[in-house]
Amino acid sequence: MKIIIVKDQQQGGKKALEVFQAALNQGAEVFGLATGSTPETTYTEIVKSDLDFSQKISLNLDEYVGLKADNPQSYRAYMQQHLFNFKQFKRSYLPQGDAADSQAEIQRYNDLLAQYPVDLQLLGIGKNGHIGFNEPGSSFTEQTRKVKLTPSTVAANARFFASKEDVPQYAYSMGIGSIMRAKSILLEAFGVTKADAVAAMVEGPVTPDCPASILQQHPDVTVILDQAAASKL
């Protein structure tokens, strides 16, 4: 793992832009994208930049089950608001939260991942070490699936909803097996609330108790941290 420590999330976004630029220079065609507060400055920097994704493909990590694409809390809406309204890709895919047939939706997404192997996957990390919505205990080999969110993740994401009761209990998420197939991975973490998860990911044993710890076994991972998130290393 290549660890880069920056002053704050703003600087982290600038560093992340450099990683996207380098990937484009090396011919990357497919970008795996993430949501949450962590990548916001990265998307701001991409929007401000002259990087051209108009011939590129994007595939997001996850989406809440049950939310329509135009629901303001959906990850589709997040991506529109933070990136796609300003920087267009040739095609941008997310799991469809309100798909009528879950199994068909999971198959569709796995077929897309097979058709478009990810060159650079952007990740955040949950306080419990989750990546995408792969909670502790998730298998390291699974592909896209429907997952039940842990109470801690529901609580952490409640800030985006009117109440905790409104937070969906399930999500579609690329599995850890899908994430590990990306050619390169960029994980960002900012703030002291991520320090324990970051320490477990970087220095702890490789164990499903900390899903992100499997990244120790990936050959090309860059981790961008602010000083607070790096404080327990």
Q: Is 130 a catalytic residue?
A: yes
In the complex, what is the shortest distance from the CB of residue 65 to ligand GLP, in angstroms, rounded to a whole number? 12
Quick one: which of 13, 95, 129, 132 contacts ligand GLP (CB under 6 A)?
Answer: 132
> 93-119 b/e with 16+ CB inside 10 Å = b?
bbbbbebeeeeebbebbbebbeebebb
Neighbours of 21 (CB within 10 A): 15
Tokens of 70: 């135009």
| x/- letters, 136..165, toward ligand GLP (CB under 6 A) | -----------------x---x--------
Q: Is 25 a catalytic residue?
A: no
In the complex, what is the shortest distance from the CB of residue 202 to ligand GLP, in angstroms, rounded to a whole number? 16
**DSSP bridge pairs for 224:** 4, 188
Q: Cβ closer to ligand GLP: 30 or 174?
A: 174
Quick one: which of 61, 94, 198, 221 contacts ligand GLP (CB under 6 A)?
Answer: 61
| Of 12-20, 107-115, 121-129, 222-230: span binding ligand GLP (CB under 6 A) | 121-129
Using CA atoms, how far apart are residues 129 and 219, in angstroms rounded to an integer?
19
At 192, the amino acid letter reads V
> Of residues 105, 130, 134, 188, which has the active-site annotation?
130
> Of residues 62, 105, 119, 188, which has the active-site annotation?
62
CB–CB of 8/225 below 8 Å?
Answer: no
Q: Is 142 a catalytic residue?
A: no
175 near ligand GLP (CB under 6 A): no
| Of 19-27, 99-107, 124-132, 215-223: span binding ligand GLP (CB under 6 A) | 124-132
Burial of 202 (0-12, 13-18, 19+ CB in 10 A): buried
| Of 31-39, 48-56, 113-121, 223-231: span binding ligand GLP (CB under 6 A) | 31-39
- Catalytic residue annotation: 62, 128, 130, 135
The site for ligand GLP (CB under 6 A) is made up of 34-38, 61-62, 124-126, 132-133, 153, 157
